Amino acid sequence: MSKVALVTGGTRGIGASICLAMKNAGYTVAANFAGNEEAAARFTEETGIKTFKWSVADYDACVAGIAQVEADLGPIDILVNNAGITRDAPFHKMTRDQWKEVIDTNLSGVFNMTHPLWSGMRERKFGRIINISSINGQKGQFAQANYSAAKAGDLGFTKALAQEGARAGITVNAVCPGYIATEMVMAVPEKVRESIIGQIPVGRLGEPEEIARCVVFLASDDAGFVTGSTITANGGQYFI
């Protein structure tokens, strides 16, 4: 039987590419989404991948959503914590809501999704947790005190939990995408985006599929000795 992978924020952007690449690699895939029903319906129509709606910012909703996916497809072997939002503002203009929304989704969302799955993975002695962090969690970004803090937190979470999962056959890794051609990056003002592209040595934005291929590797049996690590895929924009 094929392994089951759940991808949060899986119907658009990098998440959609991850779902597709995982499906093509032979996994049974479930895509979670929080809001955009139209995009989710279109995604299922185009790919045949089932979608499940809940917010990763809500712990109880995660517990219920995971139970629904597992009843439908079987125990989840691979969790890709991809769901993420931006609420960019220079710090002097950042509101408490902008801070909270980003922390709740991008950082607490990773806890909310991983925690309910952890004991099942421990019992089955297998699991793959793959957290999609960001270049901006590594280097910081103007107008992203909230996002950079959350994404840096995801890296700390990855390294701590990798140590706990190791003896139970669970690997925990992160991918740090640079600027990828998705709606999120296209929402950045054009002038700012052009200046960012100027800082990327390969001279272009990344493609979502270039991140998806990193995830497929980390999910595979070939990556069993890789844990607590970060794959940095940013076109050379930042080295760590």
Is 168 one of the binding residues for ligand CAA (CB under 6 A)? no
Residue 93-112 contact track with ligand CAA, rule CB under 6 A, x = bound: x-------------------
Number of residues this chain uses to bind ligand CAA (CB under 6 A):
19
- Half-sphere exposure (CA, 13 Å, Cβ side) for 88? 12
Is 147 one of the binding residues for ligand CAA (CB under 6 A)? yes
Applying the rule CB under 6 A, the residues between 66 and 95 that interact with ligand CAA are 86, 88-90, 93
CB of 142 to ligand CAA, least distance (A): 3
Whether 147 is catalytic is yes
DSSP assignment of 203-231 = SSPBPHHHHHHHHHHHHSGGGTT--S-EE
**CB 57, CB 104: distance < 8 Å:** yes
Q: CA 7, CA 83: separation in Å to the nearest integer? A: 8
CB of 180 to ligand CAA, least distance (A): 7
CB of 66 to ligand CAA, least distance (A): 25
Residue 175-204 contact track with ligand CAA, rule CB under 6 A, x = bound: ----x----xx--xx--x------------
Given CA atoms 109, 113, 115, 118 in this order, what sign does their dihedral have? negative
Which is closer to ligand CAA, CB of 113 or CB of 143?
A: 143
**Residue of 27, 59, 147, 179 marked active site:** 147
3-state secondary structure of 5: strand
One residue of 28, 136, 230, 232 binding ligand CAA per CB under 6 A? 136
What secondary structure letter does DSSP report for 131? E
Q: CA 231, CA 177: separation in Å to the nearest integer? A: 8
**CB 4, CB 73: distance < 8 Å:** yes
Q: Which residues bind ligand CAA (CB under 6 A)?
A: 86, 88-90, 93, 134-136, 141-144, 147, 179, 184-185, 188-189, 192
